[in-house]
Structure formats: C-alpha cells, structure tokens
C-alpha cells in the first residue's frame, strides 16, 4: 500500500515537471488574472496593502492587551488559590485574550471592506490572506490558553517556562507557514491553475508541517527525555527497557510523524 502511494506521488510530481511549458503558461495566466493585467508590481502592492491591514489589526490587539495590563497582572496573583478560583482566573484571562482577537478581526475586516471591492483585482488575494490570518490567530489563541507562556501561574499543565515558550512558538510558527502555503494554493486554484499543480502546492504545506514537527521533536529530545526519566535519570546501574525508550523517544516520535505524513 505504501509502495503504491509512493508510486502515485512520484507519478504526479513527474507529470508536473514534464509539462513545464504548460505549467509556465498557467503561472502567467494566473498572474494576469490576479493583477488584472497590471503586472507583478500591482501584485506586490496588493500584498503590501494586505500586510498593512493585518498589521493594523494586530496593532489594535496590542493596544487592548496593553490597556488591560493591570487586570492581567492581578490575575497572575494565584498564590493559595482554590481550584475554582484558579479556573475562574484562567477563564477571565482567556476572555481577555478572546476579546483582543475579536478586536483584531473587526479592525482588519473593516479596513478590508474600505480598501477593496469585489470587482477589484486584489480582492481575492486580500480576502484569502486575511482569512488565513484569522485561522492563525485562532491557533495562537489556543496555544496561549493551553501553554500560557507569559503567565506561569495560570498554566493548565505543569510545564517549565522554557518548555511553554518553546511549544507556543513552534505551534504558532507551524500555523503561519502552513496557512500561507495553503492560502496561496487556494488563490491559484481560483484563478485557473490545474488541479495537479494545486495539489502539489497544497500538499507542500503538509510537507512543511512534517519537517517542522521533526525539527521540533529533535530540539526537544533532551528535555522530554529528562521529564520521562525523572529521578531515574541519575541511576546508571541497570538500564531498563523503559529508560531506553525514554532516552530514545524522539526516534519513535519522528518515525510516527513521517509515517503518518506519508500515509
């Protein structure tokens, strides 16, 4: 089954490269449609304007976070809290973060409506990438809620500060890369590229996610092994099977990620 799947993938990739001239014409046609026959400079301008719209939304989000700094600091005072009060403060912080995300979404949406009309050539590009930014913000919101990199006292899991920051950064980074590649594929599909070329671009998002997960696992191999071993890390007399697995967990994890990605 794996051999058949690998053969099908190689066949599709080969068909993309063998029809290089046809693909080149598709790229040119796609650029003309996206730019409204105004050239690549117009596309660069659209991308720059879209980036400014998203940056403006993030700026409004930052302003809200800054204005609620005192409330957030009060929520971090979790000494001698009961379980209900702890989860109440976690929920309060989550609502503050959700409000910041909503303000960012509203700001970008309003600016998008003001700058672009549906008949304009840059409408498709701006709309797709702005929606992609919303997906990324949802992933970032979930990662912040779970790992709380800047609020150790309200962290849902017993993680060290460095581990929480590490996981948060990687999750957000993977979401950004996958979102941009997938969004680009969706835009090109809308303007008429072949389904094969679209699938190649779209599947590259999955390949990048797999690569990022492998790198993340490799970088965290030591700290996870220490967490799995615990006090047993100092024992050198008899190495058990569990200790061997704990010290080499990253090989199994990388193999699992690669197998699931290929499958």
Residue that wins the pLDDT comparison between 215 and 41: 215
Cα angle 65-103-150, degrees, rounded to a multiple of 5: 30
Task: Please state, in angstroms and rounded to a whole number, the distance separating the CA atoms of residues 64 and 72.
Answer: 11
Strands (E), the chain: none
Tens-place pLDDT, residues 120-162:
778 888 999 999 999 999 999 999 988 888 777 777 777 788 8
Q: Please write the tens of the pLDDT for every residue from 14-61.
A: 665 555 555 556 666 666 677 666 767 878 888 899 999 999 999 999
Helix and strand totals (H; E) in the chain: 11, 0
Least confident of 48-57, 72-81, 251-260: 72-81
Q: What percent of the chain has pLDDT over 90?
A: 25
Neighbours of 224 (CB within 10 A): 15
Dist. CA 138–CA 226, nearest whole Å: 31
Given this model, what pLDDT does residue 131 score? 95
Q: What is the mean pLDDT of residues 221-232?
A: 74
Burial 16-39 (b: 16+ CB within 10 A, else e): beeeeeebeebeeebbeebbeeee
144 contact partners, CB below 8 Å, separation of at least 6: 97, 168
Instruction: With a cut of 70, say whether residue 69 has pLDDT above it.
Output: yes
pLDDT at 79 over 60: no
Give the mean pLDDT of 160-179. Answer: 89
The mean pLDDT of 170-184, rounded to a whole number, is 90
Could you tell me if residue 148 is left (phi over 0), alpha (psi between -120 and 50 degrees) or otherwise beta?
A: left
pLDDT, residue 64, reads 93
pLDDT averaged over every residue in the chain = 81
Look at phi and psi of residue 82 and say left if phi exceeds 0, alpha if psi is from -120 to 50, else beta. Answer: beta
Least confident of 28-42, 128-142, 216-230, 247-261: 28-42
Output the pLDDT for position 22. 55
What average pLDDT does this structure show over 198-219? 84
- For residue 83, pLDDT over 80 is answered with no
């Amino acid at each position: 089954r794996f051999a058949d799947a690998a053969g099908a993938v190689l066949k599709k990739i080969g068909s993309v490269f063998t029809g290089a001239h046809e693909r080149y014409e598709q790229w040119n046609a796609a650029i003309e449609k996206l730019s409204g026959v105004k050239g690549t400079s117009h596309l660069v301008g659209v991308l720059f304007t879209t980036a400014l719209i998203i940056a403006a939304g993030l700026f409004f989000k930052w302003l809200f976070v800054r204005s609620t700094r005192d409330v957030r600091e009060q929520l971090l005072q979790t000494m001698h809290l009961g379980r209900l009060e702890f989860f109440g403060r976690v929920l309060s912080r989550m609502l503050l973060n959700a409000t910041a995300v909503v303000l960012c979404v509203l700001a970008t949406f309003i600016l998008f409506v003001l700058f672009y009309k549906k008949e304009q050539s840059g409408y498709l590009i701006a709309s797709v990438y702005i929606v992609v930014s919303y997906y990324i913000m949802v992933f970032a919101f979930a990662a912040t809620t779970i790992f709380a990199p800047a609020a150790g006292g309200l962290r849902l899991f017993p993680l060290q500060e460095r581990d929480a920051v590490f996981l948060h950064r990687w999750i957000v980074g993977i979401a950004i890369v996958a979102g941009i590649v997938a969004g680009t594929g969706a835009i090109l599909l809308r303007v008429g590229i072949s389904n094969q070329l679209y699938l190649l671009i779209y599947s590259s998002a999955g390949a990048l996610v797999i690569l990022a997960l492998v790198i993340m696992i490799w970088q965290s191999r030591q700290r996870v092994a220490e967490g799995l071993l615990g006090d047993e890390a100092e024992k050198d007399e008899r190495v058990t099977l569990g200790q061997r697995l704990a010290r080499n967990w990253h090989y199994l994890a990388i193999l699992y990620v690669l197998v699931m990605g290929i499958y």
